[in-house]
Amino acid sequence: MSTQTKIVVIKAKEIIYTGIFLVLGILLIVLLFGMFGKGKRKNNDTQTTSKYVPGVYSSTISLGENTLNVAVTVDSDTVSGVRIENLDETVTTMYPLLEPALNEINNQISVVDNVDDITYSKENQYTYIILNQAIKNALTQASASE
């Protein structure tokens, strides 16, 4: 048996191209596992959840002998509007700042991200505090009923 030496010629271009394709293949596999792995599915499910359950939620406030319902309309991520139900003439006479405060809150609610960011004047701060707390109570119901 005669052994003859075989010479294999590999060009440098072929080695470089093969190395580049191997690195790209490994990166593609890592990327696919990262995108479609089990851990990522759980995170994607939590990202699609909304902040609130859409609907109308109410909270009560007591002003003297009168009990009023503050109804808060909520979309999936924002507060659409606030209104006071069973508001009669006696309450508006006794508490004249109630309606202007509610109108100002409705004007600002679409602009701010959080109910705490609503600004108010010092003259009628107590009215705003009462309405703000009622809105927060209603929003707690909206987020807790998911």
101-116 pLDDT, tens digit each: 888 888 888 788 778 8
Quote the number of domains for the chain.
2
pLDDT in tens, 13-67: 989 999 999 999 999 999 998 888 876 555 445 455 678 888 899 999 988 888 8
- Whether 6 is in a domain gets the answer no
C-alpha angle 84-85-89 in degrees, rounded to nearest 5: 90
The verdict on 70 and 41 lying in the same domain is: no
The verdict on 37 and 72 lying in the same domain is: no
The verdict on 67 and 138 lying in the same domain is: yes
**DSSP H stretches of helix in 2-113:** 12-36, 38-47, 89-94, 98-109
- Whether 4 is in a domain gets the answer no
pLDDT over 90 at 141, yes or no: no
- Whether 87 is in a domain gets the answer yes
The verdict on 68 and 106 lying in the same domain is: yes
CA end-to-end distance (rounded Å), the chain: 82
pLDDT reported for residue 21: 96
